[in-house]
Structure 1
Amino acid sequence: MAQSGEAPEPSSVHEVFRNPGYLRLLLLSAVVGIPVSLIAFGFVALQHEMQHGVWVSLPHALGWPAAPWWWPLPCLTLGGLLVAWCVVALPGHGGHVPAEGFGGAPTLPSYLPGVVLAALAGLSLGAVLGPEAPLMALGSGLALMSVRSARRAATPRLVPVLGAAGSAAAISTILGSPLVAAVLMIEVAGVGAPQLYVVILPSLLASGVGALVFTGFGHWTGLQVGSLALPLSGHTQPLDAADLLWGVALAAVTALLTAGVMVLARHAAVWTRRRTLERTVLCGLAVGVCAACYALAADRPPDDVALSGQETLATLAMDPHSWPVSTLLLLLLFKGVGWAISLGSFRGGPIFPSVLIGAVLGVACAGLPGFGALPAMAAGLTASSTAALRLPISAVVLAALLLGKTGVDQIPLVVIAAVVSFVVGELLRGRAPAPADAAPRSPQPGRTARTEQ
């Protein structure tokens, strides 16, 4: 039932579009998207330049060809100090704590200075996080600035809708596709959840299995049945039965490991909630120790562990066979621990580290009998991003974007890996006890909250 003073819920899509207020909202969203995207681009460019200056230009200026093994120790300690100051001294506590899950309520404009400063400090100095969550907060805050606070108070539904539009405009700049941003916002908003997953998971699983059977019989028998696929150039690697079996097992193991990271992250978030200043600095130092230990043990650059992992992922995907399994396991261990600590103490997003960890685990398993490197990487990165974000549809779309033309044949395995990872992750999450003194997560306006255990 509609509250007093609010318009009743529309009964059809046609009725929605006949509402002049909604059409004005569409126009406002289009107009707001332009400055939001420009400012988001400036934020990403500034963060990249600061990060390059700290990890590349400054070591070169001091006479080192690359950042030495100990470089993360002072950088991340300083990063922890700056982020802690933003959390305790500025409105908004530096933004959303990434260990509490992806998304969050729309960001008030007064919170934007703390969000931007905390993100720039942490991400540039080596936090194992990506810029997507601060971008979403920046986009929603800027969008809400476009309307007066009195109008926002008089129209409660305007806040989540316009905030989501601003977030989508901002995050599309880093994800490289408005389609990924749109699907991500649909799942983050929880439209129809949990009914959405009741319907979509069986459909995803059936479609993935059906595509495998259809493609497999065509590949094995040589019979042609026609396809809507365009004849694009690029080498592809057809799936076989071994890829499917190993991929399902890999997705389950990846979900288990990612769930462990998330449990550690929530404990870190609870621990830093008290005595935030000194404990966040200690967390930064701990992440720096992880990066330094990896650099010493693997004889690799420490920024493989520090930072979001976007550049390391590109290096890994370019030549996965050049990475020894021992190096991959060291990266998995130290990156995973550093990621968990960063999720609970710094400010940023979980997408890029989760994708890298899943890809690393997949490549490490690519030596199993009959398991190809490309299917292993596809299954691993999909499973890890699904378990971390709890957004299986977004993880599938993101994986398809990352794999590109050469990964078209991997999409059925991607879909199945997402379903397996999501189911395993949710079952584990239902059994895991909540950390002591954990504060309940407030649902977004207009969203059906999913219980965080």
Structure 2
Amino acid sequence: MTREAAYGLSAAGSHPYRAIPPQARALLPLVLPALLIGVGSSLLLFGVSWIAERIQHLLWDTLPDGLGVSGTSAGWTMAMLTAAGVAVGLIVWKFPGHTGPDPATRGLVDPPLPVGILPGVLLAAVITLAGGVSLGPENPITSINVALACALGMKVMPRQSGAVWVSLAVAGTVGALFGTPVAAALILSEASGVPDPRPLWDRLFAPLVAAGAGSVTTVLIAAPALTVRSSPYPGPRLIDAVSAMAIASAAAVVTLAAVYVFPHVHRVFHRLGHPVLMLTAGGLVLGALGVLGGQLTLFKGLEQMKELTADPGAHSAGNLLLLALVKLAALVVAASCGFQGGRIFPAVFIGVALGMFAHALVTTVPMPVAIAAAVLGVLLATTRQGWLSLFMAAVLAADVHLLPLLCVAALPAWFVVTGRPEMLIKGAQTEGALPGAARPRSVD
């Protein structure tokens, strides 16, 4: 045996690794980091959610029971939401970095935050989730995972660009949030960035590894279920396509009204000039909205939408409309006054309530069609991400027969929302972020 053969070399003296195409060789170094980031993103999400749920149980069940009051009473709702505003306001004011830029200026995929401000972001997110605020965990958890992945990744593999670590962390977190890597692929396919000549699957390979690892970890730990209970869909009909287009478009219009109001509400709260005042006022308003809408309009909305659909006959059309509008108003207030949280899960609850309202008005429209179409319209107006909105609506309905109808319904709804403002503060309004973050010494 020759020396070349003994060491696995070909007769030409080349190593078998070199026979792998350059494109594949470029992907291999990121496989292990992607796996680690995906698993880590899921574990952080699960840990934060678990802690928030324990605190929520303590604040809304154990503590009021011990005091002999009802955790669903108007007084307790007002007290808890106001206390959450005070607590988050103090964190923004006193923690290093003041929890970073104003959450109203940040979307799901944004540049990494400085690592030093992450403890404040994490604590503010936990209080927001546990305190009953109408926001989800997606934005702060994604920001934390992105910041950690970039800080560690650039040290371990400095030749990789920061955009690589951002994409891996976003994919891992989104995969963990929704329990499937498909949502991550859809979000990244819509994300704008530097033009990349590589094929789509090459660009998404490492993020899909991270998303797959995150989703598998979440499924193994928590087995999330995003579907809601509704009557089975009898089968496609032409009238259902027409109904889906009308409901999706109407839901988009209703949500766009809130989008137009969003910057004005943001401006009103920021005129208070101090994060504690701003968030306390926001908590008071959210408490009043919680009293008006009841417990179903509190928190991120995932469990609440399941409770809502478990007994649709218990809610009249007027009550369903009230729930949707109160939740929409709570989302606008919570996102504009400085609470840390995302908009996707509350938007899904709003869509479910609007879909049930549409079905209550016109009972011939199948419930699954009404709910899926309304969720599609609300998400299109809220996130301006077509593929994600379509995915969430289809997953929620859990019926493949609805997918063609939703694809058709997305067209007029997208026509309604495209070119309109987003539920995001941009341009000159982003200067200053939260008052404490803009001028940290001026509020001391």
TM-score, reference length from structure 2:
0.76
| Matching of residues 352-391 of structure 1 within 5 Å | 352-366=345-359, 367-368=361-362, 370-391=364-385
Q: Distance in 1 between matches of 2:347 and 2:424?
A: 23
Q: Distance in 2 between matches of 1:106 and 1:373?
A: 41
1:220-262 CA-to-partner distances (Å, cap 9, x unmatched) read xxxxxxxxxxxxxx94321323322222122122111212222
Q: Distance in 2 between matches of 1:414 and 1:38?
A: 33
User: In the alignment, what sits opposite 2:176?
Assistant: 173
Distance change in 2, residues 1:408/1:63 (3 Å): farther
Distance change in 2, residues 1:413/1:320 (3 Å): farther
Amino acid at match of 1:28: P
Secondary structure (helix, strand or coil) at the match of 2:74 reads coil
Distance change in 2, residues 1:73/1:113 (3 Å): same
- Give 1:350 shift: 0.5
Distance change in 2, residues 1:306/1:103 (3 Å): same
User: In the alignment, what sits opposite 1:450?
Assistant: none
| Matching of residues 34-433 of structure 1 within 5 Å | 34-64=39-69, 66-94=71-99, 97-100=102-105, 101-147=107-153, 155=159, 158-189=161-192, 235-273=232-270, 274-294=273-293, 302-345=294-337, 346-366=339-359, 367-368=361-362, 370-404=364-398, 407-429=399-421
- Give 1:134 shift: 1.4
Distance change in 2, residues 1:180/1:236 (3 Å): same
- Give 1:393 shift: 0.3
Q: Distance in 2 between matches of 1:127 and 1:390?
A: 23
Distance change in 2, residues 1:45/1:279 (3 Å): same
Q: How many residues get paired?
A: 375
Amino acid at match of 1:289: A
Distance change in 2, residues 1:321/1:240 (3 Å): farther
Distance change in 2, residues 1:427/1:144 (3 Å): closer
- Give 1:143 shift: 1.4
Distance change in 2, residues 1:185/1:309 (3 Å): same
Q: Distance in 1 between matches of 2:117 and 2:330?
A: 27
Would you say the 8 A contact 2:81–2:132 is kept in 1? yes
User: In the alignment, what sits opposite 1:221?
Assistant: none
Of stretches 54-63 and 359-368 in structure 1, the one that deviates more from structure 2 is 54-63
- Give 1:353 shift: 0.7
Name which of 12, 17, 40 aligns with 2:24: 17
1:293-340 CA-to-partner distances (Å, cap 9, x unmatched) read 22xxxxxxx321221111121022223233111211211221111110
Q: Distance in 1 between matches of 2:393 and 2:34?
A: 28
Amino acid at match of 1:400: A
Report sequence identity in percent: 27
1:153-191 CA-to-partner distances (Å, cap 9, x unmatched) read xx5x62221122123223333322222233223324568
Would you say the 8 A contact 1:264–1:341 is kept in 2? no
Would you say the 8 A contact 2:233–2:366 is kept in 1? no
Unpaired runs of 5+ residues, structure 2, are: 1-19, 197-230, 434-444
- Give 1:116 shift: 0.3
Q: Which has the larger radius of gyration?
A: 2
Measured on the aligned residues, the alpha-carbon RMSD in Å equals 3.0
Q: Distance in 2 between matches of 1:312 and 1:354?
A: 12
Would you say the 8 A contact 2:154–2:162 is kept in 1? no
Moved over 4 A (4+): 95-98, 148-152, 189-193, 432-437
Distance change in 2, residues 1:128/1:254 (3 Å): same
Q: Distance in 1 between matches of 2:424 and 2:164?
A: 34
